[in-house]
Structure 1
Amino acid sequence: MDRGRWIGALAASAIVALVLILGVTAPTSHQRSFATTDTLGPDGGEDIATYLGRARESLAERSASDGDLWALVSFHDQIRSDEIRGVVGDVRVSELRYRLQLDRVQTPVVDVQVADGDAALAAADGHAISKVQQLAGFDQRQDAIHEAMVRGLNEQCACIVGVIVRGTVDELEEIANQAQVRAVEALPPDAIHGWFAVRPLLPEYVDVAVVGPDDGDVPR
């Protein structure tokens, strides 16, 4: 290799090394935002009192200057979809989390994304039914659970276990003060919709977030 090519190769290697070093030591904010996964809801096995404290703190550390925030609204008892507006007011409702509550039976949590507006909210139950009907049961018990959930949704069951909303800290605090609401947990203002995980706060999570027994009879 002649002197010119050798110098060119050496310079190219130095540039590559510099790029790698900068990429490791000084990641951009864009890289950081996608490397971190935000979560809403209690961790598995978490003490519920600890989670409720975390949820309250997530609002206390925010201010009006943060603008609109993504938040999970959880209830003392599950509610119907037509009761949501009476609880959360006029904030943007982005996602409903459905679950048929049965004694000693583990049922799936089905999430339904909703567009802005009350018409989309009113249509959400139908979308939930379609999603449940598409679930694959691996045995007769699972098939029976899915069928029971479809029946419940057709009868407008109290199947809403949580709601994802977007609002200001003042709006979220107002929601948190509603009698039906057990917790409102907000994400930081830079959280991106679709890039955070959600774990439901089930009504039966009294002391610890632990899945209960699954040996009860499934109604048919």
Structure 2
Amino acid sequence: MDVIDRWRFIIAAMSVAALVVLITATAGQHHTPPPRLVGDELGRDNDETLTDYVQRAQHGFSAAAPGDEVYALVTFRQPLTAQAAGAVVQNIARVNAFEVGFAPVVGIPEPVKGVNRGDSLVHHITLKQMNPLDVRGLVVHDSVEKLHVLAKNSKVLAIEVLPPDATWGSFAVRPVNVS
């Protein structure tokens, strides 16, 4: 090995040693905090009773301004079939997602022309291999006035609304256990 090769070897060895020292010195200093929900949320808090949730949802709903178009979580008094849930919200402008059982909500497209909401819900719930007999809630989008009409339906337990500036995909939805 000539002089140049020895220097290359020494420089390479020192570089590796410096990299090892740097990695060892900085290990453990880069703890990533656990993800935290930041922003709008729908649904029941973990430590919240069902009664407290319904009261909180009602308070927020009654404070919503007439004329506003909002996203809302519609929670049913008891699990409904997909057909029955679709019938309850047939006159709502948009159904964005469904909640079946205690699974996370699943976003859905609008039904194609000529297909009612119940048939559309059955199709999408079955497609996801979920139980179309266990619809617990729906995320909808419409005017506050239409949601007030919906709230009078005896199958609806609570309607929780978001501020009118909320956008689809920018808020969290937690399940509401009604049992």
TM-score (norm 2): 0.68
Change over 3 Å in CA distance of 1:120–1:90 after alignment to 2: closer
| Corresponding position: 1:59 with 2:61 | yes
2:106 is the counterpart of 1:90? no
Matched pairs, number: 140
1:111 aligns with 2:127: no
Once the two structures are TM-superposed, the CA of residue 108 in structure 1 deviates from its matched residue by 3.4
Distance change (3 Å), C-alpha of 1:187 and 1:116: farther
2:148 corresponding residue in structure 1: 173
Q: Are 1:42 and 2:44 counterparts?
A: yes
**Is the counterpart of residue 128 in structure 1 residue 125 in structure 2?**
yes
CA gap of 1:199–1:83, structure 2 versus 1, over 3 A, is: same
The answer for the alignment partner of 1:81 in structure 2 is: 82
Mapped to 2, the partners of 1:41 and 1:93 lie a distance apart of: 16
Structure exhibiting the larger radius of gyration computed from Cα positions: 2
Would you identify which runs of 4 or more consecutive aligned residues in structure 1 move more than 6 Å? none
Q: Which runs of 5+ in 1 are unaligned?
A: 1-34, 100-106, 133-148, 205-220
Structure 2: which 5+ residue stretches go unaligned?
A: 1-36
Counterpart contact for 1:80–1:158, Cα < 8 Å: yes
In structure 2, the residue matched to 1:162 is 137
> Structure 1 residues 88 and 128 mapped into 2: Cα distance closer, same or farther (>3 Å)?
closer
Contact 1:69 1:167 in 2 (8 A): yes
Separation of aligned partners in 1, 2:145 and 2:175: 23
Indicate if the aligned counterparts of 2:98 and 2:139 stay in contact, CA closer than 8 A: yes
Greater fraction of residues in helix:
1
Partner residue, 2:19: none
**C-alpha distance 55-119 of structure 1, shift in aligned 2 (>3 A):** same
* RMSD (Å), alpha carbons: 2.3
CA deviation map 1:161-206 (0-9, x unaligned)? 11011111111111112111110001000001111111121221xx
Q: Which amino acid in the other structure matches residue 40 of structure 2?
A: D
Residues 120/96 of structure 1: CA separation in 2 closer, same or farther (3 Å cut): farther
8 Å Cα contact 1:70-1:186 kept in structure 2: yes
Q: 1:194 to 1:44 in 2, by over 3 A?
A: same
Going from structure 1 to structure 2, the CA distance change for 1:87 and 1:110 (only over 3 Å counts) comes to same
Deviation string 1:30-71 (CA, Å, 9 cap, x unpaired) is: xxxxx94211011112122221111111221112232x1100
Letter in 1 for 2:125: A
Q: Is the 8 A contact 1:78 1:158 kept in 2?
A: yes
Letter in 2 for 1:115: E
Q: Mapping of 1:27-38 within 5 angstroms?
A: 36-38=38-40
Q: Structure 1 residues 115 and 86, CA, compared in 2 at 3 Å: closer, same or farther?
A: closer
Secondary structure at the residue paired with 2:47? coil
**What corresponds to 1:28 in structure 2?**
none
Aligned-partner SS, 1:128: helix
